[in-house]
């Protein structure tokens, strides 16, 4: 018979099982010698004390955080997660021409931005988003992997129809905010004058930069609280936006388009490098048109050529050549040293000054002062200029604005180059008199010609529409200005250098210029063809200046390249302004080859 397991264990171990207590008493469970803990009493007390210290530390930290002792840091961290301050852009002011036609305006757009940590999109959704944002998927992923996981712009100034498609994707973490995008309805036609803004809608060039404080207004700020779904549940204005003011320019968009088109065609026809045109109102000094070619479309930033961004009317200087001769002759006429009918011997068409020789394209013999200007004689002009003190010439040049920075408000307007008269040698005085050794911008040249179109005074130029009379500064006597108008009209006749500048129905006056370009201190075989004039002669209303850079279409003379552009622009401008005709309606046929002026 088998023994119980308990007996077997006792037998094996050699120990007897404990006998039951006498009298039916029970033995306590913890009396079992196997459960007796032989540890020092202080250990449990130490553990209790440490637990108490931890509880006190936690309680103290809770009081520190919740009791307002130092909560600013944590409040900021919390606000980052539910509160934002949004910048609310002001609407930029419109730019219009003198007749109210919009040249620049702000249209609503959207900024697409993301909180990278919150973005949850499938590869297919990211591909569609990248397509709508017009960027590679890799670039989109790079932006969303930005180390700053709180905010990143994906694209600015997104059109509203594209923004609606992005919103339709319903992507978590992708948000939109309101902003504005600048739009230029006339595109390249007025690009150099109006300029453009950057992605922040701040002016960078042209009128947009010059009148930034007027157009921009003041940005507002709005504080919003969002729930975990990104929905705005509370908002409050910190500062409301103030819209910018509108600006009315002196430009007439009809004349601007006419000038731009005529210039572009002339540059392309003559295979020229570039060109520029300026049209001024003689009575007020307002700029009616300003154009440069090549141009650019300010609405399409990605296609810009750096060379095309330059406003050549105000930034480029050139040696004016024969267009400077009227000022040298006017200085002598105003001083009483010559009269229009005084004779000047230009034979044999050459003149030696020191070790230098200047000359005319063709020998003319004896000419009146009127004919010296009409036939553009370098020798005749030099003889007249050398009969004057150098300071007298210099005073006349500076009085009309040469060598002085133009005050028109556009960035980059240059003063040109006119050295002090004390440094002039006789040969330099002679060459400066017919436009070499001095440089001007087309803006300076056009403004200077208003002294002949007006009664000897010159007015400040304005890009803004003006009202009321404009006071001028007297430079030459009124009778001198009237005599010069007659001489300049002869220059546009058959015996002058610019019959191609005549206008059907109007009497025109002006002067051609053909000058070699200076490169690294040497004159090259590249030329600047120019013309500056006004119409109608009986009561001048407009001044038009034209410059064509490096024409290479077979001819380079100002009378053949620039004068026809003047005629086309002036004719259209006078009709647009409804100026009554003062000349013959039909013009005689032009000679096959106009008499060229000398190009040194």
Q: What Cα–Cα distance (Å) separates residue 352 from each residue in 389, 422, 548?
A: 19, 22, 31
What pLDDT is recorded for position 270? 96
Which SS3 state, helix, strand or coil, does residue 119 take? coil
Q: Which of 322, 376, 377, 530 is catalytic?
A: 322
Tokens (6 digits) for 431: 């060459």
Whose CA is closest to 402, among 417, 389, 385, 412?
A: 417
In 3-state terms, what secondary structure has residue 575? Answer: helix
How far is residue 535's CA from residue 545's CA, in Å, rounded to a whole number? 12
Going from the N-terminus, what domains does the chain have, and what CATH number goes with each? 84-134+153-160+174-248 (3.90.1310.10), 253-576 (3.40.710.10)
DSSP code of residue 246? P
pLDDT of residue 200: 82
| Residue closest to 326 by CA, chosen among 479, 552, 513, 175 | 513
pTM: 0.81
Spatial neighbors of 386 by CB under 8 A, at least 6 apart, are 353, 426, 429, 430, 433
Q: Which of the 8 DSSP states describes residue 436?
A: S
Euclidean distance between CA atoms 339 and 371, whole angstroms: 12
| pLDDT attached to residue 20 | 52
Confidence (pLDDT) at 432: 95
For residues 12 and 518, give the distance between their C-alpha atoms in angstroms, rounded to a whole number.
Answer: 123
pLDDT computed for residue 480 by the predictor: 97
- Report the alpha-carbon distance of residue 195 to residue 180 in Å, rounded: 17
Which run of H or E residues covers position 366? strand 366-368
| Residue 322 designated active-site | yes
pLDDT reported for residue 78? 65
Q: Show the low-confidence residues of the chain (pLDDT under 70).
A: 1-39, 65, 67-84, 86-87, 146-149, 224, 226-237, 588-600
pLDDT of residue 6: 45
Q: Tokens for 433, please give them.
A: 């008199």
Listed in order, strand segments (DSSP E) in 459-540 are 473-474, 509-519, 522-535
Residue 7 is predicted with a pLDDT of: 41
Q: What pLDDT, on a 0 to 100 scale, did the predictor assign at position 14?
A: 46
Name the packing angle between helices 426-433 and 378-386 (round to 10°): 130
C-alpha 15/C-alpha 93 separation (Å) is: 107
pLDDT at 592: 46
Alpha carbon distance 398, 392 (integer Å)? 10
140 three-class SS: helix
Q: Is residue 203 helix, strand or coil? A: strand
């Amino acid at each position: 018979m088998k023994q119980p397991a308990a007996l077997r264990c006792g037998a094996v171990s050699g120990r007897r099982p404990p006998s039951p207590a006498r009298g039916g008493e029970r033995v306590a469970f913890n009396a079992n010698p196997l459960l007796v803990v032989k540890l020092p009493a202080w250990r449990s007390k130490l553990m209790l004390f440490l637990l108490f210290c931890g509880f006190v530390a936690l309680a103290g930290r809770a009081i520190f955080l919740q009791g307002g002792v130092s909560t600013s840091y944590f409040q900021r961290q919390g606000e980052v997660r539910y509160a934002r301050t949004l910048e609310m852009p002001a609407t930029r002011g419109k730019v219009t021409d003198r007749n109210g036609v919009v040249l620049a305006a702000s249209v609503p757009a959207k900024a697409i931005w993301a909180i990278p940590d919150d973005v949850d999109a499938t590869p297919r959704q990211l591909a569609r988003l990248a397509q709508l944002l017009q960027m590679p998927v890799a670039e989109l992923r790079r932006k969303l992997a930005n180390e700053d996981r709180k905010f990143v712009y994906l694209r600015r100034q997104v059109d509203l129809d594209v923004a609606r498609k992005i919103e339709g994707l319903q992507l978590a973490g992708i948000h939109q905010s309101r902003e504005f995008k600048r739009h230029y309805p006339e595109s390249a036609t007025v690009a150099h004058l109006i300029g453009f803004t950057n992605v922040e809608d701040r002016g960078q060039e042209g009128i947009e930069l010059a009148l930034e404080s007027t157009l921009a207004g003041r940005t507002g700020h709005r504080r919003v609280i969002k729930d975990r779904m990104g929905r705005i549940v509370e908002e409050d204005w910190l500062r409301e936006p103030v819209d910018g003011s509108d600006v009315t320019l002196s430009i007439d968009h009809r004349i601007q388009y006419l000038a731009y088109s005529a210039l572009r065609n002339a540059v392309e026809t003559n295979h020229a490098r570039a060109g520029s045109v300026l049209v001024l109102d003689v009575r007020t000094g307002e700029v009616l048109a300003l154009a440069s070619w090549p141009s650019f479309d300010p609405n399409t930033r990605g296609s810009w050529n750096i060379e095309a961004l330059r406003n050549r009317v105000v930034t480029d200087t050139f040696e004016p050549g024969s267009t400077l001769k009227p000022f040298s002759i006017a200085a002598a006429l105003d001083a009483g040293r010559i009269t229009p009918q005084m004779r000047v011997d230009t034979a044999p068409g050459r003149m030696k000054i020191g070790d230098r020789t200047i000359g005319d394209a063709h020998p003319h013999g004896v000419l009146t002062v009127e004919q010296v200007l009409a036939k553009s004689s370098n020798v005749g002009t030099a003889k007249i200029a050398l009969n004057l003190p150098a300071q007298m010439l210099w005073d006349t040049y500076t009085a009309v604005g040469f060598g002085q920075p133009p005050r028109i408000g556009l960035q980059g307007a240059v003063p040109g180059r006119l050295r002090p008269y004390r440094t002039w040698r006789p040969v330099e005085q002679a060459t400066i008199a017919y436009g070499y050794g001095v440089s001007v911008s087309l803006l300076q040249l056009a403004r200077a010609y208003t002294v002949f179109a007006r009664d000897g005074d010159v007015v400040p130029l304005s890009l803004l529409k003006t009202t009321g009379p404009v006071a001028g500064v007297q430079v030459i006597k009124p009778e001198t200005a009237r005599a010069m108008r007659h001489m300049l009209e002869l220059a546009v006749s058959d015996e002058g250098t610019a019959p191609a500048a005549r206008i059907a129905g109007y009497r025109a006056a002006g002067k051609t210029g053909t000058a070699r370009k200076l490169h690294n201190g040497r004159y090259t075989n590249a030329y600047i063809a120019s013309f500056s004039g006004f119409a109608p002669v009986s009561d001048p209303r407009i001044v038009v200046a034209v410059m064509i850079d490096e024409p290479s279409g077979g001819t380079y003379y100002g009378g053949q390249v620039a004068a026809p552009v003047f005629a086309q622009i002036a004719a259209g401008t006078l009709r647009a302004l409804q100026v009554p005709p003062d000349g013959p309606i039909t013009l005689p046929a032009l000679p096959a080859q106009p008499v060229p002026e000398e190009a040194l």
